[in-house]
Amino acid sequence: EVSEMSERSKQNVAHGLAWSYYVGYLKIVLPRVKKSMEEFSSANPNLLVCRKTWKLHILIPLSCDVYDDLEKADSNIQYLTDLSETTMPRAGTKKRVYKHSLYAIRNEENQLWHCAVEYATPLQSLYAMSQDECAAFSREERLEQAKLFYRTLEEILQGSKECAGTYRLIAYEEPQEAETHFLSREILWHLQQQHHEEFAVHEGTPPPAPSTALDSAELNLQISASDLPQPLRSDGF
């Protein structure tokens, strides 16, 4: 009965997507990110000068509007190269390839910041469900599920020792009026904050002012406790 209620209210959609994303992808690739960044930095010492940014930056637009080509999303984001690949057998595929792309982000002063960045791919599923009549997924439900996906993923990653210090979640709501370089500014803020954090460790300076990007505290206020997925068994397993 609890399972049927959860399915009718779609409470388990975002929860399941977040866990699948973590177990089937992030838990595999994130522990290897810093090694890939270190290898690239050794060959290109002038590009990745801030070790705090040696992470995978994961974009989470609450609109679930995901671009396959980041350069088309924002012309200030330019593809640079791919980091070293990881290959391993996975679900019947002998040599499943995992890799990340490195981008140059241009700021208003025409300076370039470099980082590995990509969208959280499960958001494409949420968007597709809202476009499919069979899923009966409204735009409002999609927004709530995107918020729940972010909160669930954040909680999962915070409890993962293997992934500690290897990622940066960038959740945001796009402005109602189109802004040409909104996305690059969001990414740049996170890169600059990490740069200041690294600098502050050595100099003892205070952290920068908060970003306009969404954080889990804001999302906690926007989602009621009843929206959270419930366990399907009363014994907690």
Q: Is residue 226 part of a domain?
A: no
Find the range with the poorest average confidence among 2-11, 43-52, 164-173.
2-11
pLDDT at position 131 is 79
Q: Is residue 105 part of a domain?
A: yes
Question: How far is 148 from 18, CA to CA, in rounded Å?
Answer: 9
Q: Residue 171 is which amino acid?
A: A
Q: What is the tally of structural domains in the chain?
A: 1
Parallel, antiparallel, or unpaired: how do β-strands 93-98 and 86-90 relate? antiparallel
Confidence bin at 46 (pLDDT 50/70/90): confident
Is the pTM here over 0.85, yes or no? no
Is residue 24 predicted with pLDDT exceeding 80?
yes
Higher pLDDT, 48 or 79: 79
Rounded to the nearest 5°, which phi and psi values hold at 114?
A: -120, 140
pLDDT at position 10 is 53
Confidence bin at 22 (pLDDT 50/70/90): very high
Confidence bin at 231 (pLDDT 50/70/90): very low
Rounded to the nearest 5°, which phi and psi values hold at 129?
A: -65, -35
pLDDT at position 63 is 93
**Alpha-carbon Rg of the chain, whole angstroms?**
19
User: In CATH, what number is assigned to the domain containing residue 132?
Assistant: 3.40.50.12100
pLDDT at position 213 is 54
Q: Is residue 217 part of a domain?
A: no
Is residue 230 predicted with pLDDT exceeding 90?
no
Q: Who contacts 210 (Cβ-Cβ below 8 Å, separation ≥6)?
A: none
Q: Is residue 24 part of a domain?
A: yes
- The predicted-structure confidence for 102-159, as pLDDT tens digits, reads as follows 999 999 999 999 999 999 999 999 888 887 766 667 788 889 999 999 999 999 999 9
Question: How far is 141 from 227, CA to CA, in rounded Å?
Answer: 11
Q: Is residue 80 part of a domain?
A: yes
Q: Is residue 138 part of a domain?
A: yes
Question: How far is 170 from 119, CA to CA, in rounded Å?
Answer: 9
Q: Is residue 125 part of a domain?
A: yes
DSSP track, 180-211: TTHHHHHHHHHHHHHHHHHHHHHH-PPPPPPP
Range of the domain at 176: 7-203
Average pLDDT, the chain: 82
